[in-house]
Amino acid sequence: MTTKTLLCCVLYVISHVTEATLTIGAFNIQRMSRNKIGKVDFLKHVAEILLRYDIVSIEEVMDTTACQAVLDEVNRMGGPYNLTISEAMGRTSYKEHLAIIYRSDKVTLTGAVKYPDPDDDFEREPYSAHFHTTQAYLTDFALMGVHLKPTDAFAEMNALVDAYNYTTKVLGTQNFIIAGDYNADCRYLSNKKYHLSNLYTDDRFDFLVNKTADTTANHNTDCAYDRFVATGLVKHAVVSESVLVYNFETGMHLTYEEAKNISDHYPVEMQLQ
């Protein structure tokens, strides 16, 4: 079957049946550590947020113990979920993991890979998970989790093209959601540089989160740091108007202080069919 024929089949099915969907999220849970998970109601609130998603990329995981505690709470409240997590990454003593939590009764993890970064372009290398599902009409796709270094956001955005090219060959699919904290707005990246970036000018990539969105939980900021970028057949499988920022302060009826205890970012979310 040719790529054109496959695309036509996917579009036909999507246009006629819309019930089967997966909800995808990306969430920078600010410095998620063993100390943080001990805060009052933190685990309960984070688990409630993560239960919105069938697959979610999580950034700023400081240690695997904290991530496992979050996974355990999610499963206690409503599973089954599993995770894949990168090694600790960073050029200095400050290091983070990238994690991807997924609902194991809806998707099957078929592979995971960290970009080897031969030119040392990234502070934290992109980490990708390849999934198969029978719960959406696009049955084969990958989620690449990213957390770009704020002061190198432009250079790292450019390098994401190389990371994508490499990972498509390793995982055997061009259907990607590149999800996470790009830090590609406000003082870290001008509008001019954003529109000049390789990721923006290459027509294989579609930015899904509006540049005018505010993905920050701080009342004093208004920045679209957290993004989805779609490639391949994913571009045609995104449910119309499903790409949103989830404001958990209002959505969960929290005080501002309670919301700040969770993160300084809101998650972004989308539906895939």
Task: Give the Cα separation of 134 and 184 in Å (integer).
Answer: 34
The letter for the amino acid at 263 is S
Q: Please report, as a single letter, which amino acid is at residue 160.
A: L
- Does the annotation mark 195 as catalytic? no
**Residue bearing tokens 């979310």:** 269
Burial (0-12, 13-18, 19+ Cβ within 10 Å), 127: buried
> Among residues 223, 220, 213, which one has the least CA distance to residue 260?
220
Q: Choose, from 59, 60, 73, 96, the residue flagged as catalytic.
A: 96
Catalytic, 97? Answer no
Query: Which is catalytic among the residues 97, 130, 147, 265?
Result: 147
Closest Cα partner for 57 from 22, 89, 101? Answer: 101
The pair phi, psi for residue 210, each rounded to 5°, is: -60, 140
- Cα dihedral sign for 160, 102, 269, 139? positive
- Residues identified as active-site: 96, 147
